């Protein structure tokens, strides 16, 4: 596979070749750098001059959403750091931030309490998302179109453990209203079936019916399920380039969650990853087997769930009560 890189990356790879590095090593570096470049593009970050927060999100994405082994994540950190040092020697600074960023720790640490949400926070968020609290007159006018869509996004992460990417990439041929199911294809191309509750199926179908027929994605098609909303035209977006409804972007979903968290007057920093963390912790506390849970959330190795098991060991009685895994049907 041929990758298109900025000139400074090409210079670095040529430098490695001139130093006598093996072709296999250079190829591995290319794939690692491409991982980072693809993520930048996905996040709509146009420059390689990223912040420390951007880098931390990238490594969190590798570990928590792509389920990379911690050693693989550390290797990519090392490759980017070597690239930054090469840049620095030529007076360039696009990746200088990584020079002061420590690599991900080899031993997984328990989740902090800020990395999951309590049942009280969940209830307040979902209640607010169904209300008109804090809206302008224009927002009140358009809110009925996308209310169920936004609620569904949160429910899919919080009640079924889907990643942000899995939610964003849902297409109509994966949505089976008649069977209350979502059909996911995981990273090793194995089918994963998500069984929706009747209430959540109804939520999904109500959202789908809210989309005006001319821009509504066709059932059983490859068209996106979660559609971007055009606030100026007060309808859902249509992509003339794709001749299909416009898929809601990851950036738009992240922004929506931040705004809803703010509207609910909850603490900053709550994200889709917090919802997924909460789901896993609740299922473990509810007694789900590790093997079943690994299949359910699409992990490829028991090592991926080790951090959650460590977290369970460190949870206080009060924290377990705040999660209430046995008092709520998930």
Task: Give the CATH number, domain containing residue 88.
Answer: 1.10.150
Q: Please tell me the distance from the alpha carbon of residue 315 to that of residue 321, in angstroms, as a whole number.
A: 10
78, part of any domain: yes
136 and 221, same domain (yes or no) = yes
Ranges of H-type helices in the chain: 7-18, 23-42, 52-60, 70-89, 119-129, 137-160, 164-168, 198-210, 250-263, 272-285, 290-297, 306-314, 317-323
> Which residues span the domain enclosing 13?
7-100
329, part of any domain: no
Joined tokens for residue 91: 């007076």
3 state SS of 61: helix
Structure confidence by residue, pLDDT tens digits, 159-206: 999 999 899 999 999 999 999 999 997 644 578 899 999 999 999 999
Q: Please compute the mean of the pLDDT values over residues 129-146 and round it to a whole number.
A: 93
192 and 293, same domain (yes or no) = yes
106, part of any domain: no
239 and 309, same domain (yes or no) = yes
Residue 181 pairs in a beta bridge with 176, 195
Q: Give 94's pLDDT tier (boundaries 50, 70, 90).
A: confident
Please provide the DSSP assignment of 150-214 as one string: HHHHHHHHHHH---HHHHHT-BGGGEEGGGTEEEEE-TTS-EEEEE--HHHHHHHHHHHHHS-GG
252 and 303, same domain (yes or no) = yes
223 and 280, same domain (yes or no) = yes
Contacts 24+ apart (CB under 8 A), 271-275: 271/164, 272/153, 272/157, 272/163, 272/164, 272/167, 273/60, 273/64, 273/65, 273/115, 273/164, 274/115, 274/116, 274/117, 275/117, 275/154, 275/157, 275/158
Q: pLDDT > 70: what percent of the chain? A: 93
* Residue in the block written with tokens 């028991």: 302
The pTM of the full predicted model, rounded to 2 decimals, is 0.71
Q: Please tell me the distance from the alpha carbon of residue 94 to that of residue 116, in angstroms, as a whole number.
A: 33
| Position 1 pLDDT exceeds 60 | no
250 and 291, same domain (yes or no) = yes
Residue closest to 155 by CA, chosen among 97, 206, 82:
206
45 and 175, same domain (yes or no) = no
68, part of any domain: yes
Confidence at residue 219, expressed as pLDDT on a 0 to 100 scale: 92
Q: What's the domain count of the chain?
A: 2
| Position 330 pLDDT exceeds 50 | no
Which CATH number does the domain housing residue 186 bear? 1.10.443.10
93 and 151, same domain (yes or no) = no
92 and 119, same domain (yes or no) = no
Confidence at residue 158, expressed as pLDDT on a 0 to 100 scale: 96
| Position 304 pLDDT exceeds 50 | yes
- Phi first, then psi, for residue 184 (nearest 5°) are -110, 150
């Amino acid at each position: 596979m041929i990758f298109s890189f900025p000139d400074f990356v090409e210079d670095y790879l040529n430098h490695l070749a001139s130093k006598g590095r093996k072709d296999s090593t250079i190829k591995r570096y290319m794939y690692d750098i491409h991982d980072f470049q693809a993520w930048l593009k996905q996040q709509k970050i146009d420059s390689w001059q990223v912040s420390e927060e951007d880098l931390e999100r990238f490594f969190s994405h590798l570990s928590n959403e792509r389920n990379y082994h911690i050693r693989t994540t550390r290797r990519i950190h090392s490759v980017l750091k070597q690239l930054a040092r090469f840049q620095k020697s030529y007076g360039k600074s696009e990746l200088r931030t990584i020079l002061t960023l420590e690599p991900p720790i080899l031993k997984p640490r328990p989740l902090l309490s800020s990395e999951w949400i309590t049942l009280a926070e969940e209830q307040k968020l979902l209640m607010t998302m169904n209300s008109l609290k804090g809206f302008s007159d224009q927002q009140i006018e358009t809110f009925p179109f996308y209310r169920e869509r936004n609620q569904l996004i949160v429910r899919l992460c919080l009640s079924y453990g889907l990643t942000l990417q899995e939610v964003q990439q849902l297409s109509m041929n994966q949505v089976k209203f008649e069977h209350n199911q979502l059909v996911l294809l995981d990273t090793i191309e194995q089918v994963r079936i998500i069984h929706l509750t009747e209430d959540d199926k109804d939520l999904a179908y109500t959202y789908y019916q809210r989309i005006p027929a001319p821009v509504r994605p066709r059932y059983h098609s490859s068209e996106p399920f979660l559609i971007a909303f055009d606030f100026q035209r007060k309808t859902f977006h249509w992509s003339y380039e794709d001749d299909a409804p416009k898929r809601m972007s990851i950036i738009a979903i992240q922004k929506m969650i931040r705004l809803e968290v703010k509207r609910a007057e909850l603490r900053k920093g709550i994200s889709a990853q917090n919802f997924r963390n909460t789901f896993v912790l609740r299922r473990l506390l509810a007694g789900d087997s590790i093997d079943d849970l690994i299949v359910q959330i699409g992990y490829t190795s028991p090592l991926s769930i080790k951090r959650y098991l460590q977290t369970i060991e460190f949870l206080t009685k009060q924290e377990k009560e705040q999660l209430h895994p046995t008092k709520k049907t998930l």
